[in-house]
């Protein structure tokens, strides 16, 4: 189940218990996610496959996202729709995630261009991440063999 973690918003830490599980095809970005989730505990990145069928594309234009969600209440708590670099915050909101799940979405594609740039990750795979809402859509390939320790920098 989701665990508490710390997000940095405008350089300030914010504690969240996100209903979403975040993944990246970029090992460097996945390591950054693992560190944020683990805090001071040991963190490792493992290989996983995601069985998702209908992702909400948060990399799209605002109007396209609003159109996709027009018959939901997903944006009720978001009168100021987040700019692209902050759309990940929608996926930390249990009400937003519940509404989009009820609308049939099982995951979301998240823009990570600014985060990749801030972390100096030069990997095209780091430009997006995936948020999955149900742990049954995640299959860890081999939990005993981490791809890389997510060590502190």
62 vs 151: which has the higher pLDDT: 62
Average pLDDT over the chain, rounded to an integer: 84
**At residue 1, does pLDDT exceed 60?**
no
Section 58-80 average pLDDT = 93
Section 95-116 average pLDDT = 94
Strand order in the sheet with 128-132: 21-23, 128-132, 107-111, 55-57
Interatomic CA distance for residues 8 and 98, integer angstroms: 23
What DSSP element (H or E) covers 23?
strand 21-23
**Ranges 2-11, 49-58, 80-89, 140-149, most confident:** 49-58
Residue carrying the six token digits 């189940």: 1
For 26-65, write each residue's pLDDT tens digit: 999 988 888 776 665 667 788 889 999 999 999 999 999 9
At residue 153, the pLDDT reads 33
Residue carrying the six token digits 């009720």: 76
Token reading at 55? 């992702």
**Ranges 14-18, 36-40, 108-112, most confident:** 108-112
Confidence of residue 22 (pLDDT cuts 50, 70, 90): confident
Confidence of residue 149 (pLDDT cuts 50, 70, 90): very low
């Amino acid at each position: 189940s989701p665990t508490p973690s710390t997000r940095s918003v405008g350089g300030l830490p914010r504690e969240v218990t996100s209903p979403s599980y975040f993944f990246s095809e970029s090992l460097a970005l996945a390591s950054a996610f693992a560190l944020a989730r683990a805090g001071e505990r040991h963190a490792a990145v493992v290989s996983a496959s995601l069985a998702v069928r209908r992702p909400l594309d948060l990399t799209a234009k605002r109007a396209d996202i609003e159109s996709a969600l027009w018959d939901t209440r997903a944006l009720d708590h978001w009168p100021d729709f987040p700019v692209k670099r902050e759309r990940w915050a929608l996926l930390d909101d249990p009400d937003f995630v519940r509404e989009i799940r009820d609308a049939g979405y099982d995951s979301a594609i998240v823009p990570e261009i600014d985060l990749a740039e801030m972390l100096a990750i030069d990997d095209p795979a780091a430009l997006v991440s995936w948020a999955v809402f149900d742990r049954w859509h995640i299959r860890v390939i081999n939990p005993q063999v981490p791809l890389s320790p997510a060590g502190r920098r």
